[in-house]
Structure 1
Amino acid sequence: MHLHDFWFLLIAVLWTGYFFLEGFDFGIGVLTKTLAEDRTERRVLINTIGPVWDGNEVWLITAAGATFAAFPDWYATLFSGFYLPLLAILVCLIVRGVAFEYRHKRPEERWQRNWENAIFWCSLLPAFLWGVAFAAMVRGVPIGPDKNYSGDVLDLISPYTLLGGLFTLVLFTFHGAVFAALKTTGDIRHRARAHATRYGLAALVLAGAFLAWTQADSGNGRSLPAAVIAAVALLAALVLNRTGREGWAFALSGVTVVAVFAMVFLALFPDVLPSSSDPAWSLTAAGSASSPYTLKIMTWVAGFMTPVILAYQAWTYWVFRKRIGTQHIPAAH
């Protein structure tokens, strides 16, 4: 395997890991308005991800940084052409982080309500926009012979990309609902399972449409098994959620997220960003990579740091593995 192929695989793993972890963060943020019935229950949901949400975002920073270092042409064209949606995602992530930290700083109802609205909208919008962005990346965007993006923001919008955005929004919300059922106790746990069933059924319908469209339009022999695994895992997660097997349901909803984005990257390869203007102008993994020496140094660094990151994140999830409920929330003063 060439180093540029290895780094394409590693970047795919980093982005997929980010969506597996941040996916249920986004889902919890959406559920603070659709599942929680009062401020105490919203605090329960926020506390399920409170110790881990910022660690989950490390995967985004690492994925973006690795893309910049390993494939500078891909990074430059992607982040310039997708500038507005990526800027909106960045602003949402910043505001959401501030909202998590500032919501409880003052007791006034209006203060807390405003930050809760920020958590909801700044979870919903990125969950939708990431789907639009990755669907546009698979479909192809206008790229000129100079490797520069030659379109505008409207070129990112189409029925296919909007379907991709809606699918990731519903899938992440389902993922978050299963996580909420796994991490809570009492009435909110049972309602989370009911919500997971509803979101899961919607995600199943959207998955059928999005995966079939992707496979028909951009797929290949490598991406088809990933699409099948995604559909089967989603259906199994729904069944296990209905039977109260929250741990297995969450594992399989995670498999669904992983398989969906694995399909995206498998459909892309060996391109990293297809050109809708002329296939000859598409950016490829081989043509967009850094020098072999740069990739070799990065491989040594990644070999050392990746186990460290995985170890401390696994330890964090182990420490905060207990369920929580409204009885664990102290009465407001």
Structure 2
Amino acid sequence: MQLHDVWFVLIAVLWIGYFFLEGFDFGIGVLTKLLARDRAEKRVLINTIGPVWDGNEVWLLTAGGATFAAFPEWYATLFSGFYLPLLLILLCLIVRGVAFEYRHKRSEDRWQTNWEHAIFWTSLIPAFLWGVAFANIVRGVKIDQHMEYVGSLFDLLNVYSLLGGLVTLTLFTFHGAVFAALKTVGDIRERSRALATRLGVLTAVLALAFLLWTQASRGDGRSLIALAVAVAALVAAIGCNLAGREGWSFALSGITIAAAVAMLFLTLFPNVMPSSLNEAWSLTVTNASSTPYTLKIMTWCAGVAAPLVMLYQGWTYWVFRKRIGTQHLADAH
């Protein structure tokens, strides 16, 4: 295995980590409208991710930076071709971070309501658009012989990609509902479990259709194994949620995300962005990668820094591991 193959795998791992962590993060944001009955319950949900949401986004920055450094042609084509949806995701993430920090700064009802609306929409929109983006990458887009995207925004809005967006939206919301059940106590915990069951069934139907479509169009034996793992883990997650085993259910929903993302990358390799115009014009791990020397330096840096960052983030989750409920809320200012 050459270094550009190694970095393709590492970038896949970074995206898996991002979707695993930011997935329940987005899900909690969506649940502030679907689950919470009043402002106190919204505060409980937001507080479950309060200490960790910004750390989760580091995985996105790392994945983007690694793609830029290891596969500059992939990065350039991706960000130029998907400019508008990626810009919308970026704007949502900016507004979302501001909403978390500013929502509690003033006590007026209108002020807090507006920021709560912002949290909901800036969680829902990226959760949907990430699925659209990755579905288009797997499906193939209009790339010419100069490695440039020559399609339009409307080329990205097809049935397959829209189904992919619905899958990520429902899967992240299910992941968030399981996390809410894991992190809360009382009535909100019970309602989180009940909602997670309904979301899980809907997610299973959509995910099975999307993954089978992907397997039929671009899959092989390796991707079929990943598909089987994703489906089995999702069914097991729903079962554990019904049994009240929130910890196991959360771990299994995370495995579902990991296996589904792994399947997408397995169907891509050795391409990084297939061309729908001509297979010979596709971006691959070979023609889109940086020089071997650059990849070598990156490997040494990642080998030192990545374990430290993961240990620190793991410690953060351990410190804030306890369940919370409305009785734990401090009086509003």
Return the TM-score normalized by structure 2: 0.99
Aligned residues: 333
Within a 5 Å distance, the mapping from 1:102-251 to structure 2 comes to 102-251=102-251
Which aligned runs of 4 or more in structure 1 are off by greater than 6 angstroms? Answer: none
Q: In structure 2, what is the Cα distance between the partners aligned to 1:305 and 1:332?
A: 40
Q: In structure 2, what is the Cα distance between the partners aligned to 1:155 and 1:277?
A: 12
Within a 5 Å distance, the mapping from 1:1-333 to structure 2 comes to 1-333=1-333
Q: In structure 1, what is the Cα distance between the partners aligned to 2:154 and 2:203?
A: 26
Deviation at 1:221, TM superposition (A): 1.6
Q: In structure 1, what is the Cα distance between the partners aligned to 2:100 and 2:186?
A: 24
Deviation at 1:219, TM superposition (A): 1.1
Superimposed CA distance per residue, residues 52-78 of structure 1 (whole angstroms, 9 cap, x where no aligned partner): 000000000000000000000000000
Q: In structure 1, what is the Cα distance between the partners aligned to 2:301 and 2:140?
A: 32
Q: In structure 1, what is the Cα distance between the partners aligned to 2:84 and 2:224?
A: 32
Q: In structure 2, what is the Cα distance between the partners aligned to 1:218 and 1:162?
A: 18
Return the TM-score normalized by structure 1: 0.99
Superimposed CA distance per residue, residues 66-92 of structure 1 (whole angstroms, 9 cap, x where no aligned partner): 000000000000010000000000000
Q: In structure 2, what is the Cα distance between the partners aligned to 1:332 and 1:69?
A: 46
Deviation at 1:287, TM superposition (A): 1.0
Q: In structure 2, what is the Cα distance between the partners aligned to 1:220 and 1:148?
A: 28
Q: In structure 2, what is the Cα distance between the partners aligned to 1:331 and 1:311?
A: 34
Deviation at 1:6, TM superposition (A): 0.1
Q: In structure 1, what is the Cα distance between the partners aligned to 2:262 and 2:270?
A: 14
SS at match of 2:305: helix
- RMSD across aligned positions (CA): 0.5
The answer for unaligned runs of 5 or more in structure 1 is none
SS at match of 2:287: helix
Larger deviation: 219-228 or 235-244? 219-228
Superimposed CA distance per residue, residues 29-54 of structure 1 (whole angstroms, 9 cap, x where no aligned partner): 00000000000000000000000000
SS at match of 2:324: coil
Deviation at 1:320, TM superposition (A): 0.2
Q: In structure 2, what is the Cα distance between the partners aligned to 1:242 and 1:29?
A: 23
Deviation at 1:218, TM superposition (A): 1.4
Aligned partner of 1:314: which letter? Answer: G
